[in-house]
Structure 1
Amino acid sequence: MIAVVAGLNIFPIKSAGAVPVVRAELTRDGLRHDREFMLVRPDGRHLSQREVPELALLHPDYDGGKLIVHTPLAAAPLVCEALDGPALDVTVHRRPCQGMDQGDEAAGWFSETLGLACRLVRFTGTRPTALGGGTLTYADGYPVSVLSDESLDDLNRRMDARLPMARFRPNIVLHGLGPYGEDPVTRLRGGGVEIELIRPCGRCVIINTDQDTARRSPEPLRALGRYRAERFGGTREIMFGRLGVPRALGTLRVGDELAAS
């Protein structure tokens, strides 16, 4: 089967807003600059939309050197250069890793904007994936997330209100596989790029957060729970989309055709 890349999204700051792009470099850690930064509490635990939905209102732009963050929560944007140190011990879902502290100015801006003490860190070191022998930055468990727009169309037909793709925060949006056509796919190949899809994407309360307003509602988690709950690795999860590990690196572009097998 052939899948067309219908969208590409990079999330420079974990749990903050997306940067839609028309091309992206696929590295061993996922799309370049994806989840390169993260906000942490004073004890090093990561901040997430699970607890702080207002993170959705942070809109970052990062070129590899300068980070700019706009938000309606602050009168002026944050503008700072990426720093290379010092390294802090931090955690993502209790899994230890490290991050380079980005300084007091950034920490003060985020703490005031969000109304809680936090610091910005930039990824350093290595993190292994749970399965598949890959590596990642600050993504939860795998470097690449994939979702079909036809799967979202099917979900929307089951609901009273239509939801945008942004609610589900995929790195790669596919078209052409049909509703849930990504479920059995284990490989995506094209243009020298190859991604192995390792497991279904278990969903949490973040998808109930409107990415434009930070308001939370019972949907779509409730709707998905009626027909997309299954067991994986001994736990019952609500599955929607797939998670993968890059195997051959290169450039992905919107409009690219990928062989799905």
Structure 2
Amino acid sequence: MTAQTIEIADLYLYPVKSCAGYRVDRLTFDHQGPVGDRRYMIVDPEGEFLTQRRLPVMASIQTRLQQGVLTLGMDGMEDLVVDPPSASSRQLTVSVWSDKAKALDCGDLAANWLTEVLGKPARLVFMPPESHRQVDRGCASVGQWVGFADGFPLLVTSEESLATLSQSAGLDIDMLRFRPNVVVRGGEAFAEQQWQALTHDEGQLLLVKPCERCVIPTRDLLTQQRQPDVVAALKQHCLIDRRLIFGQNALVERIKVLAAGDSLAVVVA
């Protein structure tokens, strides 16, 4: 095995699945992944999750989580403040891809606000700590949990890889398009495709599956228009076995806190 040292450049939190995220100084972890990350989700009346893949306007819903209180914002709308649901809140069974999970409904005020923003019936739900959603058994052992993220607690990307894409596309691509939690610097562009783990003082991040990209990173964050130059850059640098790959899905092992500036040792085969 060989190793090199890199550092954490940025950390991001996404309180509501498929809505806007923001930079943070540190991530803390519990049994579901980063605390506060994608513990909320927007669903339709049948409990199926809604995504900006089909509803690009969701990318414009701003989020902020402070002391457990969620605030949603949207241009032209008054901010919505959402207190965490209580144990007596209505319990629902919701769907994330092929998974079912227990969730708590966040009430009619949130539902009405989201329905107006999205132009279709929608409700906000919360995943309580006692709700357990298993990470893909092909990549994780029994008892490794995830919130409402697509499939894994963390996504790791690198500044160098983004810089190469930006240069090829001829524009500055915002890392938030790729919705990572951990952005690292200090390696070569796309070297993360060969990384197996990132070792931290407290434990390690296990890089268990390359992240296949959908339409979301090809859209401008502000206009939500698809940009052909970004598509071309992704095809040039990230096309592997006919799949567009950018970043690595990761599991957290023994780490309680990650902070911007922390050093990580790269483990490759």
Q: 2:84 — aligned with what?
A: 82
Q: 1:163 — aligned with what?
A: 173
Distance 1:221 1:28 in 2: 36
C-alpha distance after superposition, 1:148-201 (max 9, x if no partner): 000011111211222111111110000001101211111112231311110101
Distance 1:212 1:191 in 2: 38
Q: Report deviation, 1:14.
A: 0.3
Q: 2:208 — aligned with what?
A: 198
Contact kept, 8 Å, 1:194 with 1:248, in 2: the verdict is yes
Distance 1:219 1:8 in 2: 27
| TM norm structure 1 | 0.93
Deviates more, 1:8-17 or 1:95-104: 95-104
Distance 2:67 2:229 in 1: 36
Q: 2:247 — aligned with what?
A: 241
Q: Report deviation, 1:219.
A: 4.8
The alignment covers a number of residue pairs equal to: 256
Distance 2:29 2:204 in 1: 9
3-state SS of the aligned residue for 1:15?
coil
The one-letter code sitting in structure 1 at the alignment partner of 2:154 is V
The alpha-carbon distance between structure 1 residues 73 and 15, as it changes in their structure 2 partners (threshold 3 A), is farther
Contact kept, 8 Å, 2:72 with 2:80, in 1: the verdict is yes
The one-letter code sitting in structure 2 at the alignment partner of 1:79 is V
Which of 140, 152, 160 is residue 132 of structure 1 equivalent to?
140
Given the alignment of the two structures, is residue 258 of structure 1 paired with residue 264 of structure 2, yes or no? yes
Q: Report deviation, 1:64.
A: 4.7
Distance 2:111 2:97 in 1: 21
| TM norm structure 2 | 0.90
State percent identity of aligned pairs: 31
Contact kept, 8 Å, 2:170 with 2:229, in 1: the verdict is no
Q: CA RMSD in A?
A: 1.5
Contact kept, 8 Å, 1:50 with 1:205, in 2: the verdict is yes
The alpha-carbon distance between structure 1 residues 136 and 73, as it changes in their structure 2 partners (threshold 3 A), is farther
Given the alignment of the two structures, is residue 11 of structure 1 paired with residue 31 of structure 2, yes or no? no
3-state SS of the aligned residue for 1:186?
strand
Deviates more, 1:144-153 or 1:16-25: 16-25
Which of 8, 27, 30 is residue 27 of structure 1 equivalent to?
30
3-state SS of the aligned residue for 1:226?
helix
The alpha-carbon distance between structure 1 residues 175 and 227, as it changes in their structure 2 partners (threshold 3 A), is closer
The alpha-carbon distance between structure 1 residues 94 and 162, as it changes in their structure 2 partners (threshold 3 A), is same
Structure 1 stretches of at least 4 aligned residues deviating more than 6 Å after TM superposition: none
Q: Report deviation, 1:218.
A: 3.6
Unaligned runs of 5+ in 1: none
Contact kept, 8 Å, 1:18 with 1:169, in 2: the verdict is yes
The one-letter code sitting in structure 2 at the alignment partner of 1:149 is E
